[in-house]
């Protein structure tokens, strides 16, 4: 049950068995299997707090926090969520050192621009997209959701519940592309795991720091860290064992659009019904409209532009069919296909993309 501890602390998931991984995925706790961007905030908070105890200045906090983040990223390897959180933390530290006002969404936007400018291929990384969406959802929705839930629950409980709701709502349309199901117990599981996760993370990182220097202290800390990490694993297995864990949902682009309407529309509906949240009406409408347009363009525009770039008088084309080759040659009004590869759906998609409706000759080579 404590096998999650190395992953929570430094991202080492080698001890986590497949059954637990699947249980955590089914209950939307998979971000707690390995180290996530939230750990960056924990590291910065600890370092800045220690520097404050010794009466260090603002610039000392900036330098200390940045160096701690750099060491942490090297230790756990630069995963997308870690890179996003680390850059956001550095931007926040810089603004605080300069005594400049800052807000969460502009910081997140600046972070995304920096990352994509350095590596545009990150735009195709699901982990990066989910990290950004979760952060944006929390920054935008936790406040109004907490106010709304605070009318029927204590404030602290409203905040605890609002955080997983905000993250789940923001990420679910993209998660549909990875697995077309809706997790039933995700909000409850994440709300219960919320207090244990930072505790396990902090104690786990202290084990790594004290291990080479004070082994007995490290052993005591590891024993203490076992309990919260075991509790998180218990939550994953318990909720995954319930009769109704996930609900099937539409897949592909229809599923994404439907989930945008269901998830984001539901949140907007409840927020806008509350008198105190009327100021969010235009913002939620604009976000919904922009998201629908972005999803539609993101799905259709790349293929449309790529198809428009094909010369009308093309002679030879190489199809990407995974493992293997597929060469299409066109000359004198006739079309010849040489080899097919192992995946017929990839070949069919390529031929359709090239505008090939009829083959005059197919040649299958052999070794």
pLDDT given for residue 285 in this prediction: 63
Q: Which helix (H) or strand (E) holds 206?
A: helix 196-210
Torsion of CA 93, 99, 105, 106, to 10 degrees: -100
pLDDT given for residue 130 in this prediction: 84
pLDDT given for residue 78 in this prediction: 67
Helix (H, G, I), strand (E, B) or coil at 318: strand
pLDDT given for residue 345 in this prediction: 81
Task: Annotate 74-103 with three-state secondary structure.
Answer: HHHCCCHHHHHHHHHHHHHHHHHHCCCCCC
pLDDT given for residue 320 in this prediction: 80
Look at residues 187, 185, 176, 186 and name the one whose alpha carbon lies nearest to residue 248: 176
Tell me which residues of the chain have a pLDDT lower than 70: 1-3, 7-14, 33-39, 75-78, 271-289, 291-292, 295, 297-300, 302-303, 366-367
Helix (H, G, I), strand (E, B) or coil at 327: strand
pLDDT given for residue 154 in this prediction: 85
Q: Which helix (H) or strand (E) holds 114?
A: helix 104-118
pLDDT given for residue 272 in this prediction: 67
pLDDT given for residue 12 in this prediction: 66
Cα separation, 64 vs 214, in Å, equals 23
Look at residues 261, 193, 270, 199 and name the one whose alpha carbon lies nearest to residue 232: 193
pLDDT given for residue 288 in this prediction: 64
User: What are the tens digits of pLDDT across the range 61-110?
Assistant: 778 877 877 777 776 666 777 777 778 777 877 877 777 777 778 888 88
pLDDT given for residue 102 in this prediction: 75
Cα separation, 120 vs 106, in Å, equals 20
- Contact criterion met (CB below 8 Å) for 88 and 108: yes
């Amino acid at each position: 049950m404590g096998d999650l501890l190395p992953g929570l602390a430094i991202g080492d998931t080698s001890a986590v068995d497949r059954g637990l991984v699947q249980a955590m995925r089914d209950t939307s706790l998979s971000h707690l299997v390995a180290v996530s961007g939230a750990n960056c905030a924990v590291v910065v908070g600890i370092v800045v707090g220690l520097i404050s105890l010794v009466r260090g200045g603002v610039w000392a906090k900036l330098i200390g926090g940045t160096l701690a983040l750099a060491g942490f990223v090297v230790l756990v390897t630069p995963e997308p969520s870690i890179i996003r959180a680390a850059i956001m933390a550095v931007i926040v530290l810089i603004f605080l050192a300069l005594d400049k006002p800052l807000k969460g969404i502009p910081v997140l936007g600046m972070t995304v621009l920096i990352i994509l400018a350095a590596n545009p291929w990150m735009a195709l990384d699901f982990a990066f997209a989910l990290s950004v969406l979760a952060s944006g959802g929390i920054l935008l929705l936790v406040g109004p959701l907490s106010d709304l839930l605070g009318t029927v629950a204590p404030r602290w409980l409203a905040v605890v519940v609002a955080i997983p709701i905000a993250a789940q709502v923001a990420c679910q349309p993209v998660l549909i592309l990875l697995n077309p199901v809706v997790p039933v117990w995700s909000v409850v599981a994440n709300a219960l795991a919320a207090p244990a996760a930072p505790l396990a993370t902090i104690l786990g990182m202290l084990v790594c720091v004290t291990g080479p220097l004070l082994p007995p202290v490290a052993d005591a800390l590891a024993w203490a860290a076992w309990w919260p990490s075991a509790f998180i694993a218990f939550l994953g297995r318990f909720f995954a064992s319930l009769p109704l864990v996930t609900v099937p949902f539409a897949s592909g682009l229809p599923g994404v659009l439907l989930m945008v309407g269901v998830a984001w529309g539901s949140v907007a509906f409840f927020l806008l019904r509350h008198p105190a949240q009327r100021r969010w009406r235009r913002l939620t409408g604009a976000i919904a409209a922009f998201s629908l347009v972005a999803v539609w363009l993101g799905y259709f525009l790349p293929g449309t532009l790529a198809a428009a770039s094909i010369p009308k008088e093309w002679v030879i084309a190489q199809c990407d069919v995974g493992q293997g080759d597929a060469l299409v040659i066109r000359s004198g009004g006739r079309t010849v296909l040489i080899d097919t590869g192992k995946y017929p759906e990839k070949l069919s998609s390529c031929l359709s993309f090239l505008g090939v409706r009829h083959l005059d000759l197919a040649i299958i080579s052999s070794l």
